[in-house]
Amino acid sequence: MDITDQLNISRRGFLKLTAVSATVAATPPLVARAAVPDVARAPVTQQVAMEVNGKPATLSLDTRTTLLDALREHMHLTGTKKGCDHGQCGACTVLVDGRRINSCLTLAVMHEGSKVTTIEGLGTPDALHPLQAAFIKHDGYQCGYCTPGQICSAVGVLDEIRRDVPSHVTADIGAKATFSTAELRERMSGNICRCGAYSNIVEAITEVQEGRA
Amino acid sequence: MKFDTPATTNPIDRLKVIGQPHDRIDGPLKTTGTAHYAYERHDAVPNHVYGYIVPATIAKGRVVNIDTATARRAPGVLAIVTAKEAGPLTKGQYNTAKLLGGPEVQHYHQALAVVVAETFEEARAAAGLVRVDYARSPGAFDLAAAKGRAVKPEDGQPDTAVGDFAGAFASAPVTLDAMYTTPDQSHAMMEPHATIAAWEGDKLTLWTANQMIHWGKGDVAKTLGLPPDNVRLVSPYIGGGFGGKLFVRADAILAALGAKAAGRPVAVALPRPVMFNNTTHRPATIQRIRIGATPDGKITAIGHESWSGDLPGGGPETAVQQTRLLYAGANRMTATRLATLDLPEGNAMRAPGEASGLMALEIAMDEMAEKLKLDPVDFRVRNDTQEDPEKPGRRFSQRNFVQCMRKGAEQFGWSKRSATPGKMRDGAWLVGMGVASAFRNNLVMKSGARVRLGTDGRATVETDMTDIGTGSYTIIAQTAAEMLGLPLSQVSVVLGDSSFPVSSGSGGQWGGNSSTAGVYAACVKLREAIAGALGMDAASAVFDDGKVSAGGRSVPIAEAAKSGEIVAEDSMEYGDLEKTFQQSTFGAHFVEVAVHAATGEIRVRRMLAVCAAGRILNPKSARSQVIGAMTMGVGAALMEDLYVDKRLGFFVNHDLAGYEVPVHADIPHQEVIFLDEADPVSSPMKAKGVGELGLCGVAAAIANAVYNATGVRVRDYPVTLDKLLDRLPTV
């Protein structure tokens, strides 16, 4: 990739952008004009190979494609949800190399060699993961749209506690991390459920944790 | 089938399947990511392309020019549709503002164009290259400033009056006269509005997220000038709605227009930051409440006035609704006024009217109880009424409101509450308890279904009813299983397709009772056909345990369909029982909060709801409806506030980082108690709505608990710590 050329384009785009902005400032107050760059760049594509739910996947992707859209639009793994595309809701949570991340906040091409686990990789309707079964038993969902993210996040949370990763509510970060509803609620707070199933979700995750203990 | 006399004993009363806390039948799909929502229909629409919205960036005015030349040259772009390319579109019956604006701009982020490209990234990038020049017009964006110009809305009853309110209030020994405000709120459901559109000739199919399939089909047809028969909506799974998906929104129209122009199926989702200003919201209110009572706590005068705003042609937030029915009192008045505002369209959000109205009324009741030196539970109980206070003699079909209050008080440990605020401490925390009444009317809507008995003895229900997280799939399956004497596992349910019989849809907490009553009607017809096929008397045939029995014979139900599937279809319609009786649902919310004595941080510690809402069709999913509503009530009480830029006319905090909704850390364990009821006036199901009841009153119970903890009375929602800090008791 020719970085110099890219920078030149960016600079040109920037100059045009500032020119438009200047026009805005000079126009009468009742006329507003949106500032847009007069540039239409050809997409840059790149090949990326990762392992998704235990299977190798090689994709040729627009470098702007998020991991979330790679999963949903290119691999048709639509269990991972797009709730906000801005890292604000947690519906897109997946496990990358064992750790939970918002897949909307990371570009797919950054994940060469990554091992990605999505909700489809945890269990199926006929062979549910213990957390999936517990969510059903405790009615830890309603519309179901945040649910895959909640479950993937819960897998990550239980592992974080096992790995002794402290949280905001951990009283003594020198002591061993322990499971509690306060810890669970704090660690799960990046996953919004607008239907408000939180009380049941906490009970579902707690049951799985206690079954393990 | 027509329901015009109260229900007697019917097969539903057996409660072998219905009324049981079954797990949701859609659970295995939803928890494994295999339930496909509107934007995810790669199975149904392979090789669709992507549309991206260009939203208006002024609140009011005119588009002088849209320059799409650069965007059209951008890589991958297939089509761009603005109002000019779209040609004349008709505004939908249920829309206030047009879904595709231009040249006139009616509100901020109104759609002005859709850019269609091969990929999502290309469509998004090209949408950013569309240059729009505007001529901005001045607009009205401040409800408080527009209040003086508010008028009587054209529809509904802007004024109600019984007795002599003014005289009774003036002469009442104890009175309250206070103003309250509630802010604009957003549904903020987790699934963004989304649609995939595909044309076959002049026939259009939309895989879309919509609560009311039949309304949606009609409005898509009307907007695009198509015969309704040429439009099909498919919406089997919906990622939340709360009223925000009652109506056709821009995603559906942009996808349809984009697909037509591109000659390819097109998927459009509203980007989250566009949703808050592009779609509808619950309008802010200013409310005045006056209550007059005798020293022993009998209300003699009750008055409730509400002001809200909307775009021209829009409607008011009917915040005074519950005050006409909730408490006794011989002298009463309500007034509803509507101001013209140029903010985005106001419309229904979960429990429209009551949610906002009870936020104010139930603080007022708490204030009044304090003036009377009465316990707030006792004050409410003293003013119970078993008949419509505006129409003496017209009784409530069932009203166990007092039982809700008493049961809740006992269960919650209400007697431990200190009547004097600021007296309970737990270390650095001030602790308080609050109570509020819950009230929401029970509406019934005509609803239809088709039920098939297959040759394998399985039953399949088809209806255009939707499941927005409410549990429709499960209670419909339970209804059919009960009626046909089948185990739940032998029933399949297919929902949300406009090619199925028209149902009540999901809204106004009418969906659960109404849609299952429609399934009941279809099952009655199917039972007749099955009995006929088996040569049995339909009236005396018993359907149980997979068998049909009559006249000493008992045969497996599958026998009836051995020579071919049996299909029956019917609707449940309603007579005028709702005129004879007032049908409502009741409840009581109890909340304990802790307020940090130094920082004013508010934590909700305990929540209990007691609900009287007729027969509970599935206690597990109904409880979830109520805890979810209680959670939304925490949001309304403590954080939700669409902040208006009053100069430029838009909601500033238009994403999920700025518009705060409750998260895990905000919500404690929640308790729900349902009173054991069956209301024969509502339908053969004897059920009523519960999904909105659970929200009604919650915010006020929290505000009252904060008052009890701190002695600081906040009448302007949300109750945030900045409103407490300078008045907290000395540390």
Give Cα B102 distance to the centre of its chain.
31
Could you identify the residue written with the tokens 């290259």?
B129
Domain-ending residue, one of B529, B551, B579: B579
Rounded to whole angstroms, the Cα distance separating B560 from B205 reads 36
Q: How sure is the predictor about B133, in pLDDT bands with cuts at 50, 70 and 90? A: very high
pLDDT at A23: 42
B615 shares a domain with B719: yes
Contact A130, A122 (CB under 8 A): no
CATH number of A130-212: 1.10.150.120
Q: Which of B466, B473, B463 has its CA nearest to residue B501?
A: B463
pLDDT band at A7 (very low <50, low <70, confident <90, very high): very low
Q: Which residues contact B275 (CB under 8 A, 6 or more apart)?
A: B186, B188, B192, B193, B654
The 10s digit of each residue's pLDDT in A112-143 is: 999 999 999 999 999 999 999 999 999 999 99
Segment B222-239 mean pLDDT: 98
Q: Assess whether pLDDT exceeds 50 at residue A22.
A: no
Check CB contact of A180 with chain B, cutoff 8 Å.
Answer: no
Residue A136, chain B, CB below 8 Å: the answer is: yes
Q: Does a structural domain hold residue B169?
A: no
Give every strand in the sheet of B111-117, ordered side by side: B77-82, B111-117, B49-55, B266-269, B194-200, B203-208, B231-234
Q: Using the beta-carbon criterion (under 8 Å), do B33 and A118 form an inter-chain contact?
A: yes
At residue B357, the pLDDT reads 98
Q: Is B692 a catalytic residue?
A: yes
Q: What is the enclosing helix (H) or strand (E) of B134? A: strand B131-136
- Residue B598 sits in the same domain as residue B711: yes
pLDDT band with cut points at 50, 70 and 90 for residue B729:
confident
Counting one residue from A and one from B, how many pairs have CB atoms under 8 Å apart? 249
Name the domain boundary from B579, B611, B640.
Answer: B579
Residue B416 lies in a domain: yes
- B614-655 tens-digit pLDDT: 999 999 999 999 999 999 999 999 999 999 999 999 999 999
Residues B457 and B429 in one domain: no
A66, A70, A73, A74: CA torsion to nearest 10:
150
The residue of B62, B66, B130, B190 whose CB has the most chain A CBs within 10 angstroms, and thus the best one to mutate to test that interface, is: B190
- Residue B31 falls within a domain, yes or no? no
Residue B553 and residue B510 in one domain = yes
A32–B137: do the CB atoms touch at under 8 Å?
no
| Identity of the residue in A40, A145, A201 whose CB atom sits nearest the CB atom of B239 | A145
Q: Which residue has the higher pLDDT, B458 or A171?
A: B458
* Amino acid at residue number B456: D
Q: How deeply is B537 buried, as exposed, middle or buried, from its count of CB atoms within 10 A (0-12, 13-18, 19+)?
A: exposed
Distance CA A183, CA A173 (A): 12
Dihedral sign for Cα atoms in the order B380, B382, B386, B388: negative
Residue B154 lies in a domain: no
Residues B608 and B650 reside in one and the same domain: yes
Which domain range does residue B518 map to? 2-20+444-579
Judge: A81–B35 Cβ closer than 8 Å, yes or no: no
Q: Which of B32, B194, B48, B238 is nearest to A79 (CA)?
A: B32
Say what the pLDDT of residue A26 is.
41
**Residue B661 counted as domain residue:** yes
Q: What is the per-residue pLDDT across B705-720, written as a single tens digit (0 to 9) for each? A: 999 999 999 999 999 9
Q: What is the DSSP string of B597-610?
A: TTT--EEEEEEEEE
Residue B448 and residue B532 in one domain: yes
CB-nearest partner of B272 from A86, A119, A202: A86
Q: Each residue of A100-123: b (16+ CB within 10 Å) or e?
A: bbbbbebbbbebeebebbbbbbbb
Residue B114 pLDDT class (50, 70, 90 cuts): very high
Distance of CA B584 to the CA centre of its chain: 16
Looking at beta carbons, which residues of chain B come within 8 Å of A69?
120-121
Is A33 touching B (CB cutoff 8 A)?
Answer: yes
CA–CA distance, B658 with B186 (Å, rounded to integer): 12
Q: Check residue B730 and give its pLDDT.
A: 82
What does the pLDDT average to over A91-109?
98
Domain ranges across chain A? 1-41, 45-122, 130-212
| Chain A positions in Cβ-Cβ contact with residue B241 (cut-off 8 Å) | 143
Read off the pLDDT of each residue in A168-186 and give the average, rounded to a whole number: 93
Query: Are B33 and A79 in contact (CB < 8 Å)?
Result: yes
Quick check: A118 and B32 CB within 8 A? Answer: no
Average per-residue pLDDT for chain A: 87
Structure confidence by residue, pLDDT tens digits, B561-587:
999 999 999 999 999 998 999 999 999
- Burial of B226 per CB tally in 10 Å (0-12, 13-18, 19+): middle
**In a shared domain, residues B462 and B437:** no
Residue that the structure tokens 């029915």 belong to: B325
Q: How many domains does chain B have?
A: 2
Structure token pair of residue B65 = 């020019």
Residue B192 lies in a domain: no
Q: Model confidence at B394, in pLDDT bands (50, 70, 90)?
A: very high
Residues B449 and B557 placed together within one structural domain of the fold = yes
Q: Note the pLDDT tens digit of each residue in B77-92.
A: 999 999 999 999 999 9
CATH of domain A45-122: 3.10.20.30
Count of residues making up chain B: 731
User: Each residue of B430-463: pLDDT tens digit?
Assistant: 999 999 999 999 999 999 999 999 999 999 999 9
Check pLDDT > 60 for residue A21: no
Average per-residue pLDDT for chain B:
98
Please tell me the predicted confidence (pLDDT) of residue A35.
Answer: 58
Q: What is the CATH number of the domain that holds B643?
A: 3.30.365.10
Q: How far apart are alpha carbons B82 and B101 in whole angstroms?
A: 8
Q: Give the minimum alpha-carbon distance from A121 to chain B in angstroms, rounded to a whole number.
A: 9
Q: Is residue B703 part of a domain?
A: yes
DSSP letters for A110-133: GGTT-EEE-HHHH-BTTB--HHHH
B203 within a domain of the structure (yes/no): no
Per-residue pLDDT at A10: 41
CA distances to A196, B191, B206, B316, B501 from B245, in Å: 18, 10, 14, 19, 20
Q: Which amino acid is at A211?
A: G
Work out the average pLDDT over B417-422. 97
Chain B: nearest CA to A175, how far in angstroms? Answer: 22
Final residue before a domain boundary, out of B538, B562, B579: B579
Residues B565 and B666 in one domain: no
List the alpha helices (DSSP H) in B448-595.
472-484, 511-533, 577-580
Rounded Cα distance between B466 and B448, Å, is: 12
Contacts of A82 in chain B (CB under 8 A): 39, 192, 269
| For range B366-370, the mean pLDDT | 98
B306 pLDDT exceeds 80?
Answer: yes
Are B464 and B523 in the same domain? yes
Confidence check: pLDDT of A37 > 70: no
